[in-house]
Structure 1
Amino acid sequence: MSGAEAVFTQALGLTPPWEVERVELKPEQSRIDMFIIYSSNVGQCPVCGAKDQPVHDHRARTWQHLHFFQFEAFVHCDAPRIACTNCSKTTQVGVPWARPGSHFTLMFEALALALAREMPVAVCAKTLGCSQNALWRLIDAHTTRARARESHAGVRELGIDETACRRGHDYVTLVHDLAERRLLFATPGRGAQTLARAASDLRAHGGDPDAIELICMDMSGGFKKGAALYLPNAAIAFDRFHVIQLANAAVDEVRREEATYEPHLRRTRWIWLKDTRHWNQDQGAQARRLNAMRLQTARAWRVKEALRDIYRRRPATDQAASELSRWMSWARRCRLEPMKRLAATIKAHWAGVLHAFGAAHRHTGYVEAVNSLVQAAKARARGYATTSHFIAMCYLI
């Protein structure tokens, strides 16, 4: 073995009987080919593990490797098959640089997965010099293998939310472990049956649906029905993110109606929806000016901010019940229909809203953060061709 072959043998992390036999550089094709040999007549049976079994024959295989400078790199090997005298099976030996069935080396796959998390798969495939379909198969294979190794035995608290696979339709339900901050399960749809599938998947990974103690979710009727049927012992908590989301929607409804005759409200949407702690100097000045104009939108905003303040103070359950009751009384008297409907919605879901204060103030902040990452990835990719691709990306992220 020459100096060049020895360097590539070490670079690939090969040990005897594997070694690089020769390296061919093809500048006109911007390509480098590495040819590996198995320099032994015996090996370990991949099926039963018996050692010193005879090599039956060899099968030619090729794998794409990481680029070598500006050159595309490929690994070639006549991979041996072992004819085992112990189990009487003839099986190909696994190569140390690639997983079974893959057309890429492990190093290539590691880089591809890292890039696919940060850029569209189409761009990633073009950068790496492979097809999009091959890259999607790689992502599917790794996420499937990773999920197969997971244990959900200790899961007790779930965060459940929906996210759109395509604009306005084709929803996917995401089920998270709130304590460990990890995605457990993703499935198409957003109704009660999604929680049936989630419970089945939990059981398949060693978890127990009857052991789930808490679910943080939105006020979806489908989710409530599914939780009652398939996670029967879990307490339901409607956390602050979903409640404030409803409050923001109510304020925006008031603003849109008032903006039809009040020109000062045009292009002010984000002032009313944004957390005041995130206002810049201009937004703060504009908000103070608008608040002084006795606008209906400003009144609705003050009602909403009073609700947000309750959640910021994080009172105990009894105190939260008292403060929320006073807030609902104010909202019902404010003469703004969207805010009155918001108060009625909170009253209708009273137990779940209060439970969010008592359950160690659990919330779906992590779930919402993951959803924003997934939606940002979807925007960069300009959407995904299939729901299965979208779900694979959820797991990868």
Structure 2
Amino acid sequence: MNNQIEALFTTALGLQPPWHVAKVELNTAKRRIDFEVEHTGKRAACPACGVEHQLIHDRVRRSWRHLDFFQFEAWLHAEVPRVQCSGCGKTAQLPVPWAREGSGFTLLFEALGLSLCRELPVTQAANQMRVAPKRLWRRVRHYVEVARAKDDMSGVRHVGIDETSVKRGHQYITVVHDLAAQRLLFACPGRDHQTLGAFADDLRAHGGDPARIEHACIDMSAAYAKGIGQSLPSAQISYDRFHVVALANAAMDEVRREEMRTSAAAVREAVGADSKKTLRQLLWGMRKDAASWTRAQFEAMHWLQRSNLKSARAWRLKQALRLVYREARDSNSDAIALGALTKWMSWARRSRLEPFKRLAATLKEHLGGVVRGMLDGRSNAYVEAMNGLLQKAKSAARGFRDPENFIAIAYLRMSKLKHLPQSPLVPAIPRDYGRYRHVC
């Protein structure tokens, strides 16, 4: 019976001769199961040079944490042979088929850890696996580095570039995404022009060519514009709609706050009864699209449009800029887009609203990229969405002390790496759940 059990676990562990399970010990008090694995061969090939039939010099005892069997913590133990080679003269340890060299975990256990870290904070995943978080972090960084080394970036033509914060104190990383494949290509600490030089070097290392990048979508960062000019010489810069409208929203909020600060009494008098509630509805109504207004916000915005407040002019300017983008998109004409934007900038300069006058000057300074962003249909909306997910991951992890850990998690979750270990919980053959529908 014992031989049958050992043969069963030999098959379950996927071992092939000369490796086999020699002994199984179950300790129900400690909720632990231990497998003694043996190597029955007398000779083996040299791991260093490959010469066959070399004598086994000695054996070194090693242990590895494995996936749980049922509710029991599982461990593999083996006397791993070392071969003394007559060809190269080296004494080298044989590799084991269930773990990579130097690791205290089996390959399947590490694969489970990676799959959990894709969904959970590393500390939480480590708690579920009952291991130290530092040990899991080392596996994440190792496998991400190995998978990225095999990544192919030869087809990258359109990139979106942005920064996202690592922690307080103005610590940022630059992220570069492939807008076509919607995946993270590169991330590094900092947000200056040198980060794009580092991206160009990384692109070459993965089969890409910086000179073949045709399009780069960025915010109005002078540092990124400089970096693109130096490191991506063929890329056309466009400033996407998201950032331009965000600047208009910021200008509108500045006008509203200044008006509330300097003319609060007059504004409340103009609003009339229940002014506090109405002003709160205006705060959110001015920021939201009209289709998303609540009834209270609709009524507050209806009042605003009939008022003579500066906030009303600011809101109209912001809405008009959105209409400019819509008109440019529908026409798909450089002349129409440039003409509509020029008219809007003229209106903004004559509005007597300082934030919008500054915005008009900014758009004029970056006019070519803004118009290009109106027409090419590409934007950093995906990049911003991924940044939002990264910030959620940071909040769930209660921050990252090491920026390299933050970058490793970004690669693990957003790079669509093809050479990571597959989760052991994924079935080898997809199940057909359709045939069970009649049961429900």
TM norm structure 1: 0.91
5+ residue gaps, structure 1, are none
Give 1:273's aligned residue: 287
CA contact (8 A) 1:118 1:377 kept: no
The superposition leaves residues 119-162 of structure 1 with CA deviations (integer Å, 9 ceiling, x where unpaired) of: 22222211111111111111110111111111222222221110
How many residue pairs get aligned? The number is 396
TM-align CA RMSD: 2.3
Structure 1 Cα separation of the partners of residues 90 and 292 of structure 2: 66
Q: Give the counterpart letter for 1:129 in structure 2.
A: R
Q: Give the counterpart letter for 2:371 in structure 1.
A: L
Change (3 A) 1:10 1:124: same
CA contact (8 A) 1:255 1:265 kept: no
* Structure 2 residue matching 1:320: 3-state secondary structure: helix
Query: How far 1:118 sits from its partner (Å)?
Result: 2.0
Structure 1 Cα separation of the partners of residues 142 and 17 of structure 2: 29
Q: 1:349 aligns with which of 320, 341, 366?
A: 366
CA contact (8 A) 1:241 1:365 kept: yes
Residue 302 (structure 1) aligned with residue 316 (structure 2):
yes
Give 2:161's aligned residue: 160
Residue 256 (structure 1) aligned with residue 273 (structure 2):
no
Q: Give the counterpart letter for 1:202 in structure 2.
A: L
Q: 1:380 aligns with which of 366, 379, 396?
A: 396
Structure 1 Cα separation of the partners of residues 92 and 153 of structure 2: 34
Residue 134 (structure 1) aligned with residue 135 (structure 2):
yes
Structure 2 Cα separation of the partners of residues 276 and 82 of structure 1: 75
Change (3 A) 1:226 1:88: same
Higher mean C-alpha deviation, range 71-80 or range 159-168: 71-80
Q: Give the counterpart letter for 2:342 in structure 1.
A: S
CA contact (8 A) 1:115 1:124 kept: yes
Matches within 5 A, 1:1-397: 2-260=3-261, 261=264, 262=267, 263=276, 264-266=278-280, 269-279=283-293, 283-284=297-298, 286-312=300-326, 314=329, 315-316=331-332, 317-358=334-375, 360-397=376-413
Query: How far 1:335 sits from its partner (Å)?
Result: 2.6
The superposition leaves residues 207-260 of structure 1 with CA deviations (integer Å, 9 ceiling, x where unpaired) of: 222222211111111111111122222111111121122122112212222333
Structure 1 Cα separation of the partners of residues 199 and 338 of structure 2: 32
The superposition leaves residues 34-66 of structure 1 with CA deviations (integer Å, 9 ceiling, x where unpaired) of: 222222223344344444444333222211122
Structure 1 Cα separation of the partners of residues 294 and 38 of structure 2: 64
Q: Identity of paired residues, percent?
A: 51
Structure 2 Cα separation of the partners of residues 40 and 346 of structure 1: 75
Query: How far 1:396 sits from its partner (Å)?
Result: 1.4
Query: How far 1:269 sits from its partner (Å)?
Result: 4.1
CA contact (8 A) 2:281 2:296 kept: no
The superposition leaves residues 348-390 of structure 1 with CA deviations (integer Å, 9 ceiling, x where unpaired) of: 10011112234x4221122111111110000111101111111
Change (3 A) 1:319 1:96: farther
Higher mean C-alpha deviation, range 327-336 or range 231-240: 327-336
Q: Give the counterpart letter for 1:259 in structure 2.
A: M
Change (3 A) 1:336 1:93: same
The superposition leaves residues 65-123 of structure 1 with CA deviations (integer Å, 9 ceiling, x where unpaired) of: 22233322222222223344454433322222222222212222222112222222222
Change (3 A) 1:327 1:108: same
Structure 2 Cα separation of the partners of residues 221 and 367 of structure 1: 19
* Structure 2 residue matching 1:164: 3-state secondary structure: strand
Higher mean C-alpha deviation, range 191-200 or range 100-109: 100-109
Question: More relative contact order in 1 or in 2 (CA 8 Å, sep 6+)?
Answer: 2
CA contact (8 A) 2:281 2:300 kept: no
Q: Give the counterpart letter for 1:135 in structure 2.
A: L
Query: How far 1:280 sits from its partner (Å)?
Result: 5.3
* Structure 2 residue matching 1:99: 3-state secondary structure: coil
5+ residue gaps, structure 2, are 268-275, 414-440
Higher mean C-alpha deviation, range 314-323 or range 372-381: 314-323
* Structure 1 residue matching 2:216: 3-state secondary structure: strand
* Structure 2 residue matching 1:207: 3-state secondary structure: coil
Higher mean C-alpha deviation, range 71-80 or range 258-267: 258-267
* Structure 2 residue matching 1:66: 3-state secondary structure: strand
CA contact (8 A) 1:259 1:265 kept: no
Query: How far 1:278 sits from its partner (Å)?
Result: 4.6
Q: Give the counterpart letter for 1:308 in structure 2.
A: R
Structure 1 Cα separation of the partners of residues 393 and 161 of structure 2: 20
* Structure 2 residue matching 1:15: 3-state secondary structure: coil
Higher mean C-alpha deviation, range 338-347 or range 77-86: 77-86
Query: How far 1:164 sits from its partner (Å)?
Result: 0.3
Structure 2 Cα separation of the partners of residues 51 and 277 of structure 1: 75
Query: How far 1:300 sits from its partner (Å)?
Result: 1.8
* Structure 2 residue matching 1:9: 3-state secondary structure: helix
Greater Cα radius of gyration, structure 1 or 2:
2
Q: Give the counterpart letter for 2:369 in structure 1.
A: G
Q: Give the counterpart letter for 2:408 in structure 1.
A: A
Structure 2 Cα separation of the partners of residues 42 and 2 of structure 1: 25
The superposition leaves residues 271-321 of structure 1 with CA deviations (integer Å, 9 ceiling, x where unpaired) of: 333344555565555544544545433432232222223334524233221
* Structure 2 residue matching 1:118: 3-state secondary structure: coil
* Structure 2 residue matching 1:241: 3-state secondary structure: helix
Query: How far 1:198 sits from its partner (Å)?
Result: 1.3
CA contact (8 A) 1:259 1:266 kept: no
